[in-house]
């Protein structure tokens, strides 16, 4: 090893130690300046010696290439959620059921971190893959974004291949700082640290995530813990901690439900002292064999429960009522409040729902009001302290006219909402274009809300199709747009032309047609034309398309304005064909593995695991990672270990790889 190489190795080591002390142990070893200086030195040395950039070098956290879309990934074992307890009684009931089934138990109580669940995979000790929970079965690969989180080690102490699960979150200070910055830039604020964390990890450009100061706590191993020769959750936590993974230090082993309740009570009182938000306490049966005996319901383990903190309430003054007009013309009142701390964050706005609520509670500007905030929910105004009402206060009157276009508001029968029914209302058009470009619709993410408003105000666009007629000069004339950002925007607009049909259907904002319905419609009709020609009778024959949806679709396509927009979109080259996954073939419903749960274990020699999995799924089966009573077949390859033993104990059908191949 030459001198430079030795220094690079040394810097890697030092920065890793200091980083671990700072980000994981929360006990800095050196001043920030020292760390930065060493980092700069390493960056410079690596620039001159690119072959010496190790995959786990601390410089590899700054955020790599920009992605065009996130890749979906199926979790090896589903990422489940927990059932909830809301009071002491629920906890005692949980404890009773557990003891009834397994006898004496110990529990591990952990803080329930209010972030988003993630899965991290390490191969031979190196961090290779990170994913979101998604719907529990399928998540999105966000490896590059997670790599920017300093608390996540890029290399474990040992050369292990494993999956761990945990919570990515945004510390309260980072959240407050981010929102202050966004406010200064007139950008939309994040409602809470959890949304901010989720929004950051959903960025296609990892450099953005890198700037968001996220952190992580790991709370479990993915898959079967016992296959690591470890017998309990608490022992697994120690093991994961020794490997350098960030654990929340506040967990406690409890022998009785009284101790659990004491832990819950203590944290209910002191949760706001933490540097991050928690929304409850998770209680887990410690021993893995007891966990297995308790098993799972369809959605959650029976060996754990999440105690949810009650919503917090505070009082503050209602300064004003802000009215916004949505995409469908609904006018929504929002309370503007004197800033107040609730559940650890500052709240300045709260939902008032609709006119009925304001009337029913006689909410008036200037009132002292009670605000409630529960976990992820937007704060609500729940009541008024009438005794503290100023003498000169007057009842609040909703306006008669649209706050944006001034046309008369109407109240549609059977609806509580007031609506602006002017289809040319600026707010409605702006909101419908924002919806069209949004992530789950056409996904034109470089077009922000302000830019949409500016384009409309400048008369450069009138409807969504006009977006495709923009040129570079148009865009560069907007505030905050330079040549580079204009190019980027136009490229994103262009790229959206090839989206599959369901995205366009979502983007059009047809009432009652959300993402799921759009997907079903697109897969069934395949082209916009055949969908447009469908009658209500034809539509309702499709499973999951109800009367309301069918009626709304037919009415939408009968509307001349809507048809004009669609024809305009077609003329500018927007794809109107479904290019997603074809509908499930009959084989999936009637295949030989239909409704069967299969576990693959040991080394397969003729197929890779993912090939085997794909084939089984094609034939209707589900592949899971751990053996339980619900498993139908275990396919055991070479050197199969504990899973095979378990299958034999449970009397589950065991196949060789050869048998699997024959059946396929």
* Least distance CB 245 / ligand IVH (angstroms): 13
73 is a site residue for ligand IVH (CB under 6 A): no
| 248 or 428: CB nearest ligand IVH | 248
State how far the alpha carbon of 315 is from the alpha carbons of 318, 347, 350, 379, 383, in Å: 10, 11, 12, 12, 9
* Least distance CB 170 / ligand IVH (angstroms): 14
* Least distance CB 303 / ligand IVH (angstroms): 9
Size, binding site for ligand IVH by CB under 6 A: 14
Look up residue 232 and give its DSSP letter: B
Sites for ligand IVH among residues 202-261 (CB under 6 A):
219-220
Binding string, residues 416-435; x marks residues near ligand IVH by CB under 6 A: --------------------
**Helix (H) / strand (E) containing 240:** helix 233-242
| 195 or 334: CB nearest ligand IVH | 195
* Least distance CB 625 / ligand IVH (angstroms): 13
Q: Please tell me the distance from the alpha carbon of residue 74 to that of residue 135, in angstroms, as a whole number.
A: 10
167 is a site residue for ligand IVH (CB under 6 A): yes
Contact 575, 499 (CB under 8 A): yes
Binding string, residues 291-320; x marks residues near ligand IVH by CB under 6 A: ----------x--x-x--------------
Q: Please tell me the distance from the alpha carbon of residue 148 to that of residue 127, in angstroms, as a whole number.
A: 12
Give which of 640, 635, 639 is closest to 655, Cα–Cα: 635
Task: Name residue, tokens 């059932």.
Answer: 83
76 is a site residue for ligand IVH (CB under 6 A): no
Q: What is the DSSP string of 26-55?
A: S--SS-HHHHHHHHHHHHHHHHH-GGG--T
Single residue of 8, 42, 80, 283 touching ligand IVH by CB under 6 A = 80
* Least distance CB 308 / ligand IVH (angstroms): 10
> CB within 8 A of 105, min separation 6: which ones?
98, 99, 285, 286, 287, 290
* Least distance CB 277 / ligand IVH (angstroms): 11
Q: Please tell me the distance from the alpha carbon of residue 62 to that of residue 59, in angstroms, as a whole number.
A: 6
- CB burial of residue 371 (10 Å; 0-12, 13-18, 19+): buried
Active-site residue, from 112, 172, 284, 643: 112
Pseudo-torsion of CA 54, 59, 61, 67, nearest 10°?
A: -80
| 220 or 340: CB nearest ligand IVH | 220
Q: Please tell me the distance from the alpha carbon of residue 472 to that of residue 486, in angstroms, as a whole number.
A: 6
| 57 or 345: CB nearest ligand IVH | 345
Q: Please tell me the distance from the alpha carbon of residue 485 to that of residue 93, in angstroms, as a whole number.
A: 57
Sites for ligand IVH among residues 100-159 (CB under 6 A):
110, 112-113, 117
18 is a site residue for ligand IVH (CB under 6 A): no
Single residue of 151, 164, 240, 282 touching ligand IVH by CB under 6 A = 282
Give which of 161, 142, 271 is closest to 210, Cα–Cα: 142
Contact 63, 213 (CB under 8 A): no
User: Which one of the spans 77-85, 183-191, 402-410, 591-599 is the region binding ligand IVH (CB under 6 A)?
Assistant: 77-85
| 244 or 301: CB nearest ligand IVH | 301
Residue number of the CB atom closest to ligand IVH? 117
What SS3 class is residue 482?
coil
Q: Would you call 112 a catalytic residue per the annotation?
A: yes
User: Which one of the spans 65-73, 74-82, 226-234, 627-635 is the region binding ligand IVH (CB under 6 A)?
Assistant: 74-82
| 149 or 566: CB nearest ligand IVH | 149
* Least distance CB 173 / ligand IVH (angstroms): 20
Single residue of 49, 81, 161, 268 touching ligand IVH by CB under 6 A = 81
Give which of 191, 190, 213, 198 is closest to 167, Cα–Cα: 198
* Least distance CB 115 / ligand IVH (angstroms): 7
* Least distance CB 503 / ligand IVH (angstroms): 27
* Least distance CB 83 / ligand IVH (angstroms): 8
* Least distance CB 626 / ligand IVH (angstroms): 12
| 110 or 367: CB nearest ligand IVH | 110
82 is a site residue for ligand IVH (CB under 6 A): yes
- CB burial of residue 531 (10 Å; 0-12, 13-18, 19+): buried
Nearest 5°: the CA angle 84, 87, 91 is 65
| 306 or 492: CB nearest ligand IVH | 306
Backbone conformation region of residue 213, classed left if phi is above 0, alpha if psi is from -120 to 50, else beta = left
Tokens at residue 223, please?
């898959």
Q: Please tell me the distance from the alpha carbon of residue 516 to that of residue 473, in angstroms, as a whole number.
A: 38
| 57 or 624: CB nearest ligand IVH | 624
User: Which one of the spans 57-65, 79-87, 98-106, 460-468 is the region binding ligand IVH (CB under 6 A)?
Assistant: 79-87
Q: Are strands 138-140 and 72-74 parallel, antiparallel or unpaired?
A: antiparallel
Burial 338-356 (b: 16+ CB within 10 A, else e): eebebbbbebebbbbebbe
Contact 380, 350 (CB under 8 A): yes
| 563 or 630: CB nearest ligand IVH | 630
| 282 or 523: CB nearest ligand IVH | 282
Q: What is the DSSP string of 373-438?
A: E-TTSPPEEEEE-GGG--TT-------SB-TTT-PBEEE-TT--SEEE--TT-HHHHHHHHHHHHS
Give which of 251, 259, 184, 266 is closest to 219, Cα–Cα: 251
> CB within 8 A of 243, min separation 6: which ones?
153, 156, 157, 158, 160
Binding site for ligand IVH (CB under 6 A): 80-82, 110, 112-113, 117, 167, 219-220, 282, 301, 304, 306
Q: Which residues are catalytic?
A: 112
């Amino acid at each position: 090893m030459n001198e430079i190489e030795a220094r690079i190795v040394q810097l890697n080591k030092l920065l890793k130690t200091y980083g671990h002390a700072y980000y994981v142990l929360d006990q800095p070893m050196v001043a920030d300046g020292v760390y930065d200086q060493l980092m700069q030195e390493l960056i410079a040395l690596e620039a001159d010696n690119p072959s010496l950039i190790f995959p786990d070098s601390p410089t590899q956290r700054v955020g790599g290439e920009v992605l065009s879309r996130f890749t979906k990934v199926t979790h090896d074992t589903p990422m489940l959620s927990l059932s909830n307890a809301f009071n002491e009684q629920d906890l005692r009931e949980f404890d009773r059921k557990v003891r009834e089934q397994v006898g004496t138990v110990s529990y591990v109580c952990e803080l329930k971190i209010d972030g988003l669940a993630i899965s991290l995979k390490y191969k031979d000790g190196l961090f290779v893959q990170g994913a979101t929970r998604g719907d529990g079965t399928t998540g999105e690969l966000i490896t590059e974004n997670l790599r920017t989180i300093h608390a996540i080690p890029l290399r474990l102490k040992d050369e292990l291949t494993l999956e761990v699960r945990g919570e990515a979150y945004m510390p309260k200070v980072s959240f407050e700082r981010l929102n202050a910055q966004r406010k200064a830039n007139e950008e939309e604020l994040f409602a809470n640290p959890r949304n901010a964390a989720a929004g950051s990890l959903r960025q296609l450009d990892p450099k953005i995530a890198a700037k968001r100061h996220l952190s992580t706590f790991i709370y479990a191993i993915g898959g079967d813990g016992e296959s690591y020769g470890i017998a309990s959750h608490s022992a697994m936590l120690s093991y994961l901690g020794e490997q350098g993974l960030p654990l929340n230090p506040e967990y406690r082993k409890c022998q009785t439900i009284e101790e659990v309740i004491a832990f819950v009570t203590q944290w209910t009182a002191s949760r706001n002292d933490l540097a991050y938000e928690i929304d409850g306490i998770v209680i887990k049966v410690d021993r893995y064999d007891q966990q297995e005996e308790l098993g799972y319901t369809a959605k959650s383990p029976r060996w754990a429960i999440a105690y949810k903190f009650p919503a917090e309430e505070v009082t503050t003054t209602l300064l004003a009522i802000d009215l916004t007009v949505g995409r469908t013309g609904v006018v929504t009142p929002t309370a503007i409040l004197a800033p107040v701390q609730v559940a650890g964050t500052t709240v300045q706005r709260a939902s008032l729902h609709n006119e009925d609520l304001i009337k029913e509670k006689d909410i008036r500007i200037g009132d002292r009001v009670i605000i409630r905030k529960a976990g992820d929910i937007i704060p609500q105004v729940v009541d008024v302290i009438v005794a503290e009402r100023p003498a000169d206060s007057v009842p609040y009157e909703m306006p008669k006219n649209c706050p944006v276009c001034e046309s008369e508001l109407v109240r549609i029968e059977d609806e509580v909402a007031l609506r602006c029914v002017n289809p040319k209302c600026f707010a409605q058009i702006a909101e419908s274009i924002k919806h069209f470009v949004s992530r789950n619709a056409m996904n034109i993410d470089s077009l922000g809300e302000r830019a949409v408003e500016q384009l409309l105000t400048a008369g450069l666009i009138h409807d969504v199709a006009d977006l495709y007629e923009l040129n570079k000069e148009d865009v560069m004339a907007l505030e905050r747009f330079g040549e580079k950002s204009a190019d980027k925007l136009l490229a994103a607009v262009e790229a959206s032309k090839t989206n599959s049909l369901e995205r366009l259907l979502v983007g059009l904002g047809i009432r009652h047609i959300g993402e799921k319905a759009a997907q079903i419609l697109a897969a069934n009709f395949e082209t916009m034309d055949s969908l447009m020609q469908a009658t209500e009778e034809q539509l309702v024959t499709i499973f999951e398309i109800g009367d309301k949806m069918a009626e709304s679709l037919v009415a939408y396509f009968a509307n001349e304005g809507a048809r004009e927009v669609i024809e305009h979109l077609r003329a500018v080259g927007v794809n109107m064909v479904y290019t997603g996954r074809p509908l499930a073939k009959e084989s999936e419903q009637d295949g030989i593995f239909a409704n069967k749960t299969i576990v693959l274990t040991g080394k397969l020699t003729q197929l890779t695991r993912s090939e085997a999995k794909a084939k089984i799924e094609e034939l209707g089966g589900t592949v899971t990672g751990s053996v339980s009573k619900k498993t139908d077949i275990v396919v055991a390859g070479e050197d199969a270990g504990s899973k095979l033993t378990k299958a034999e104990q449970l009397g589950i059908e065991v196949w060789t790889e050869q048998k699997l191949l024959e059946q396929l």
